[in-house]
Chains A and B, each alone.
Chain A
């Protein structure tokens, strides 16, 4: 004895005559429910609105959300300048000095494309709206970048002129040389800034970068010690979220006795959460003498972190027919006949076999919404991973490959050192690191930069391949 909801309507008088016709359609329709989210996503989360204020970039004067060309994170900009990881001088591909480098070729290509498009737009002749729209889109995408490139070229020319003046003292005269030297310093600085900006603008914003995420932690090998470690890592991310001004809402928390954590997950929301935390996925390894150890031997334990971007409904379409939703009622009675307080919900996505469940709340509807949200994230993650593995280059920094046995980071307490194996980065002061403050932020910055570099390289390699083949791909950098 299940329950049904009936929708009836009062006939406006004109329609009375059509009643008979309607009778023919009188089968009871089991209409698949539109699984729209019940209310704005935010309502289900306790409303702690922390706004992460990103820096306004000088390049376009627009803030992060509006400018898709410039990498919005002020901290990343700062890192680029202060760190040498992104050194363009070392890499031939990414060299601005060498006119034959892939980078310069690519930049020239972009300039060409821009000019061609501008000509086309201003040319006389019949153009369909669609065409105009396409051309405009290219102009918009490239506009700012092209401005930067041209400015950069200007500065380069200036640089050469100034260098020439300085080199030839006899020709120029002492005064001129001194002025030139001062100018040179300024020009060099400006040039560096421009080059960095261009490098940032070349790589488009990641598809999921702005999304909120579901962060899942689970203890791995090592028993109680692993569970204690899992708890510490979960707290680390909790604090990091607070530092960044994100909200951190625990949706699952499965502790063990003695202060350990078997499994937990939280919804982290704010600005660019996924972008920052996407490289935290994987196996984290700890090496230390456990609390429970009496003889002082060092143990190695692991825990796993999974980061699932939370897509909106447009990103991931779920057909209600593909879902099997299980609740406490195995069969039969419901509604007024029964009063059950077990509100656990499990959703099985039949095509992919993914299962999510939630029993967090007293309201079954809320649990269902949360379970659906988690399912959506998992499916999205799967999609993203599939996309990533389709890229040509073998990247050091892969996002959620699914190869969960990849150890990404080791926390060695004896040597007070945390090592990220993907970029070979070592940092000290482990206690501070686990607090989830600046130290973790720094490591994440390095990871982001390395990832950015890889994306850029890949972009250029693809371009290189495309010009080799007879078909010229007219792909612009910021699309």
Chain B
């Protein structure tokens, strides 16, 4: 792996000087690996930093083994690389490099990818059993402070075998060299902190397997339950049309459509990437005929449109509900890679929820339902909001805490 990187890196960096900022993007892993391989000089690094501007790009080129990062990621990369360069010069240890952006929020473990890349090189030397591979990969992840090392290793190895988990796989199964190479590719991405769902490009939601792509929000287990509650509602059995606000990857609407063949849905989504993903998922599951997708940002006047008047039997949403104060305390995988527009709900987390509630009565049929996933502190606030303002035309029904009862 080290040898391959060297050659490719050298090729890449020969090209670097000729490319404009728009077309260049480098991952911290590759860069750091390059440094550790000694094929990069500090001066060139600085030039790379200047050249690699602030472009926001999520495509992938497997042949050149280029991994692309978000805009914020690139910024980290620049800073981290500088740090690494200096450290390299000073020959201090790699272990503690937590880089803080001015906002105090973001960090990226470049050092992990360096150490990891070196450890990973040993993986594809010769075919090995699933068992051994799993324990070694778990060790690498653990050493590099990757969260959930055991599960990450499991899912990655299972993916190279064409499966979802390692259950039922004979631990003595031998992984071929090409499989190990695939694994190394996936693992090095995981080492830079990419959520597993993005690394694999897919994840399960209830009965479905949906495509995932950064920075589109990854559906959570709690949302699987939201769909359960909706489906349990007797009203839904007789429903025809529903609307979803903020569909993201399309998990909720596609799951509802696939489990209730009589339903038709309309989904609103502000992110183009999310719209693309939702369309893709709807197509794969086979429900795209019954789903209408609107690429639109939700505003107070959105629901006032004539076309929407009393159109829907119910509204469902997992809106961004995180308070500003909490945005600093999110899991790194979340804050570094998922779209903040899908997370941040304003100072109290209720911005989007308020807009939904204010316009809901207009678009719902009489006795139509609203199903929302909200933060734990929200129910009393929302209940008061709804009951104090009768002009909203809504009544509070029930709150379901998650199944653990907390």
Contacts and interface: CB of A to CB of B under 8 A. Distances in A.
Given A2-B406, A39-B259, A337-B326, A8 B207 contact: no
B290 interface: no
Contacts of B205: 363
Given A361-B165, A363-B204, A26 B396 contact: yes
A336 interface: yes
A367 to B, nearest CB: 10
B11 interface: no
Contacts of B165: 359-362
Interface in B360-406: 360-361, 364-380, 382-383, 386-387, 390, 393-406
A403 interface: no
B196 interface: yes
A325 B404 contact: yes
Contacts of B172: 257-259
A251 to B, nearest CB: 8
B366 A3 contact: no
B168 A4 contact: no
Interface stretch (A9-17, A85-93, A165-173, A465-473): A9-17
B155 interface: yes
Contact of A11 (B229, B233, B321, B393): B393
A3 B197 contact: no
B240 interface: no
B151 A342 contact: yes
B370 A9 contact: yes
A366 interface: yes
Contact of B224 (A9, A10, A364): A364
B322 interface: yes
A256 to B, nearest CB: 8
A22 B395 contact: yes
A337 B330 contact: yes
A29 B170 contact: no
Given A339-B334, A341-B152, A8 B168 contact: no
A10 B148 contact: no
Nearest to B312: A10
Given A11-B393, A335-B220, A336-B321, A3 B403 contact: no
B320 interface: yes
Contacts of B376: 1-4
Nearest to A334: B222
A2 B406 CA distance: 6
Interface in A308-346: 325-327, 329, 331, 333-343
Contact of B170 (A22, A43, A255): A255
B343 interface: yes
A31 B398 contact: yes
A339 B333 contact: yes
Could you say which of A44, A255, A340, A362 has the most chain B C-beta atoms within 10 Å of its C-beta? A362
A337 B404 contact: no
Contacts of B231: 38
Contact of B155 (A9, A259, A337, A362): A362
Nearest to B229: A5
A388 interface: no
A29 B398 contact: yes
Contact of A6 (B131, B167, B382, B387): B382
B121 to A, nearest CB: 26
Contacts of B296: none
A22 to B, nearest CB: 6
A363 B365 contact: no
B195 A339 contact: yes
Contact of A19 (B334, B367, B395, B406): B395
Contact of B404 (A5, A13, A327): A327
A10 B331 contact: no
Given A1-B326, A325-B404, A365-B225, A7 B168 contact: no
Nearest to B208: A363
Interface residue tally on A, bucketed by range: 35 or more
A122 interface: no
Given A8-B357, A9-B369, A22-B387, A341 B398 contact: no
Contacts of B217: 336
Nearest to A250: B168
B218 interface: yes
A10 B394 contact: yes
A158 interface: no
Interface string B201-243: 0011111000000000110111011101101110000000000
A337 B204 CA distance: 19
B402 A30 contact: no
Contacts of A336: 217, 220, 318, 320-322, 334, 342-343, 375
Contacts of B167: 250, 252-253, 359-360
A365 B371 contact: no
Given A5-B400, A335-B373, A336-B343, A362 B168 contact: no
B322 A362 contact: no
Nearest to B372: A6
B354 interface: no
B259 A9 contact: no
Contacts of B195: 339
B220 A334 contact: yes
Nearest to A6: B372
B270 interface: no
A7 B368 contact: no
Interface in A218-263: 250, 252-253, 255, 257-259
Contacts of A23: 387
A31 B220 CA distance: 22
Nearest to A25: B396
B55 interface: no
A340 B148 contact: yes
B224 A365 contact: yes
A253 B169 CA distance: 8
Contacts of A364: 221, 224
A359 B148 CA distance: 15
Interface string A253-291: 101011100000000000000000000000000000000
B171 interface: yes
Interface string A194-238: 000000000000000000000000000000000000000000000
Contacts of A11: 361, 366-367, 393-395
8 contacts: A2-B376, A10-B367, A19-B387, A28-B379, A28-B383, A257-B131, A337-B322, A363-B221
Interface of A: 1-13, 15-16, 19, 22-23, 26, 28-31, 33-34, 36, 38-39, 43-44, 250, 252-253, 255, 257-259, 325-327, 329, 331, 333-343, 359-366, 368
Given A10-B395, A329-B404, A363-B207, 13 more contacts: A3-B373, A10-B364, A26-B383, A258-B172, A259-B170, A326-B404, A335-B222, A337-B330, A338-B220, A339-B331, A341-B148, A341-B197, A365-B206
Interchain residue pairs A-B with the least CB separation, the first 5: A12-B366, A364-B221, A362-B204, A365-B224, A8-B370
